[in-house]
């Protein structure tokens, strides 16, 4: 039997500055909020990944930039994992917590598509998790050579075409997800 968890990566206030807007930020946040409600209603774990950028002097714990966006405020039953690298599994308690909860299927959302979301997806796959990337629930900003929509489309294609490990990977829109 598969136990599922929703991962919400770096949906922190500092990741949504007005000077460098994220692609469809409001819609992405609304979509993630609906997924959170669905996972909570089924008593499935909701895991917030929160970047601690102390080493880089950004996203410092306790600052407003470090806080989760208000529309996605964690509840006491939710899990919060601190990370210090793009890959949420790297030197964090994420893998251990998921194993304790007997979770083997991850539904991945968050920011930024091309950094922390991608690094976490690839790490989770190498750890043999069943990965579902929610195609319309991750975002990024425009990059020097590519617009944000192009980056998102590119990574959705990459993930959808990756060679799986003992785990699996798929890319679905929220309308295609069946949590039962």
User: What's 68's DSSP letter?
Assistant: B
Give the single-character DSSP code of 141.
B
Kindly report, residue by residue over 73-97, the tens digit of the pLDDT: 999 999 999 999 999 999 999 999 9
CATH of 4-176, one of 2.60.40.10, 3.30.499.10, 3.40.50.20, 3.40.50.850: 3.40.50.850
pLDDT of residue 180: 76
Bond into 112 cis (ω within 30): yes
Across-strand partners of 111?
139
Q: Mean of the pLDDT values across residues 8-26?
A: 93
Is the pTM above the cut of 0.85? Answer: yes
Helix (H) or strand (E) holding 150: helix 148-160
- pLDDT at residue 20 is higher than 70: yes
Is the CB of residue 2 less than 8 Å from the CB of residue 130?
yes
In contact, 131 and 121? CB cutoff 8 Å: yes
């Amino acid at each position: 039997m598969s136990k599922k968890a929703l991962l919400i990566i770096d949906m922190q206030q500092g990741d949504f500055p007005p000077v460098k807007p994220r692609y469809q930020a409001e819609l992405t946040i609304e979509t993630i909020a609906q997924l959170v409600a669905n996972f909570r209603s089924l008593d499935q774990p909701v895991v917030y990944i929160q970047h601690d950028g102390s080493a880089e002097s950004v996203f410092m714990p306790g600052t407003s930039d470090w806080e989760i966006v208000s529309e996605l405020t964690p509840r006491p039953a939710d899990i919060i994992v601190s990370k210090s690298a793009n890959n949420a599994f790297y030197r964090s308690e994420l893998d251990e917590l998921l194993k304790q909860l007997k979770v083997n299927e991850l539904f991945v959302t968050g920011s930024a598509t091309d950094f922390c979301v991608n690094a976490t997806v690839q790490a989770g796959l190498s750890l043999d998790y069943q990965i579902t990337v929610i195609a319309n629930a991750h975002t990024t900003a425009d990059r020097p050579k590519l617009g944000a929509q192009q980056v998102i489309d590119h990574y959705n294609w990459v993930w959808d075409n990756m060679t799986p490990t003992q785990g699996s990977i798929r890319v679905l829109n929220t309308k295609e997800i069946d949590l039962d």
